[in-house]
Amino acid sequence: MHVHLVFVTKYRRDVFTKAILDELKLIFESVCNDFKAKLDK
């Protein structure tokens, strides 16, 4: 099964800073580990 997450920001502003993206990656990796899934990108 493949899942795609798409985040759309209001007014298409750059709201995802490097720090936020790094934190989101850690969170997504943790969730993937809980579900024995693989995070591709």
Tokens 């790094």 belong to residue: 22
Higher pLDDT residue, 16 or 30? 30
Q: State the average pLDDT over residues 1-23.
A: 84
d(CA 24, CA 18): 10
pLDDT at 10: 80
6's CB contacts (< 8 A; 6+ apart) are none
Number of domains the chain contains: 1
d(CA 33, CA 11): 33
Query: 4: pLDDT confidence band, cut at 50, 70 and 90?
Result: confident
Residue 12 has pLDDT above 80, yes or no: no
Q: State the average pLDDT over residues 4-19.
A: 83
Residue 1 has pLDDT above 80, yes or no: no
Domain encompassing residue 40: 1-41
Q: State the average pLDDT over residues 3-23.
A: 85
